[in-house]
Amino acid sequence: MTAPARQGAAARRRPTPGERLDRALSRIGAAGPFARDVVLALVVAVVTLGLYTILAQLGPAEPSLQVTKAEVWTMGGLAAVQGLLLCLRTVRPGLCMAAIVLVQLAVIAVAPQIMAQGLGPAIAAYTVGCLTAARFTAAVVTAAVVLETSMSAVSTWGSPGAAITVLNQLGSSALLYVAAAFIGTYVATRRRNMALSRERSEQVLRAAREREESAILAERTRIARELHDVAAHHLSGMVIQAAAVERLIERDPGAAREGAESIRSQGKETLANLRQVVGLLRERGGNGDGNAPVPGLSALKALVEESRRLGDDVRFECEGIALVLPPIADISFYRIAQQALTNARQHAPGAQVRLRLVYEPHGVELEAVNGRPLREPARVEHGGTGLVGMRERADLVGAEFEAGPTADGGWQVRLRLAVRDQDRERRGAPAGADGGLPEHGFASGTGES
């Protein structure tokens, strides 16, 4: 046998003796509890008769036993009956125990000096300990010991050495029944503990599966939200530009060509952003796009410039000293601003949009307000999830979110996040050096330098 074959054979679990016995009983048709108890009863009766057959040959020859062959065969028959009564041990454990104790009284009456105890009483006491309550088991064991001791006292009354015989019977009965019942109780307790342990393990596994499913659902929602934010922002501008190109093809081919180039540029940028999002959503350990930077508030100025290239009239204002927000809050603010500009482009074409970012001592506030549409909005086949996504992002970081119409027929989106003192971290260098937001506070009407 090769080494892998030996390892595979060793890895296979060998069946336990209980499993082998279970299979053997199933092969002979003993599938239910009663059928298997019948098999056990027959086996015990046969074994008991065999033991008493040996005793019938040896017992009468031993003077100390003071027993005849007829008495031995009588006790053997009674002990075999006890074995047969074990067929009731699972279905009626109390009745089985009572019947076996009564037969045992007859055995004691035949030869009280021998104190014979067969397999039947021990198995019955074990079964009572397994299947019944501890209080009932104790009562049954006490009754059996008292009855058998009383029968020994009655049977030996007036004979020499009666007291010693009774005491021996008391000790023998107590030892047998207490030990068997204790083992049965211990086995039952261990089985219950194992069942509880399995149940707890299953509950832990179920809870882990539920957490995994929740995490998968949350991740799917995040993926859908990211893809929606990126695609909706860029594709809405491409649709508007495509409509303009369609109108300019015959009147101004040069302008139409420039519009087509702009659409192509927007398409490339859309693909780049989608690749970035997909890369960020991959598992850790990937290379290339998986480590691409995540956009945040420092990229708002670039976002505004991009919206202006798409033809939007955007006015950007930033006030206060820039703070470093947690990554989730940073990208959430960026995505909400991006979605607000996208919604204004789709639902209020031609209207001016005012994007205002305010850094306060204890919080950050973002506000996007657009006026009423100057042109007829493009027809949308299906309602989007932009507003729902913005609200979900705000809830994710614990920010206050408000969205609704304004008095002049426009729309307003407001987001505010409270920053704890221990989370406040000022930028160490002017962020405006790399094209982001400036460190020092200012109020710019257009956001342009």
The total number of structural domains that make up the chain: 2
Distance CA 264, CA 405 (A): 34
Span 135-166, pLDDT tens digits = 999 999 999 999 989 988 888 887 887 888 88
The candidate with the shortest Cα–Cα distance to 393, out of 419, 371, 413, is 413
Residue 65 covered by a domain: yes
37 lies in the same domain as 181: yes
Distance CA 165, CA 95 (A): 28
Given a contact cutoff of 8 angstroms between Cβ atoms, the answer to whether 71 and 110 are in contact is yes
Q: Please say which residue of 203, 219, 240 terminates a domain.
A: 203
Q: Please say which residue of 156, 183, 203 terminates a domain.
A: 203
SS3 call for 426: strand
Q: Please say which residue of 187, 203, 219 terminates a domain.
A: 203
Percent of the chain clearing pLDDT 70 (strictly above): 74
Residue 94 covered by a domain: yes
Span 281-292, pLDDT tens digits = 554 444 444 444
Phi and psi at residue 402, in whole multiples of 5°? -135, 140
439 lies in the same domain as 317: yes
Q: Is 75 exposed, middle or buried (0-12, 13-18, 19+ CB in 10 A)?
A: buried
Q: Which residues span the domain enclosing 347?
A: 297-449
Residue 54 covered by a domain: yes
The bridge status of strand 352-360 relative to strand 400-405 is unpaired
The CB density around residue 386, as the number of other CB atoms within 10 Å, is 23
60 lies in the same domain as 180: yes
CATH label of the domain that carries residue 311: 3.30.565.10
pTM of the model: 0.48
Distance CA 155, CA 105 (A): 10
The more confident residue out of 95 and 3 is 95
| Whole-number pLDDT of residue 274 | 62
Span 377-414, pLDDT tens digits = 766 555 556 788 788 888 878 899 999 999 998 999 99
Distance CA 369, CA 239 (A): 23
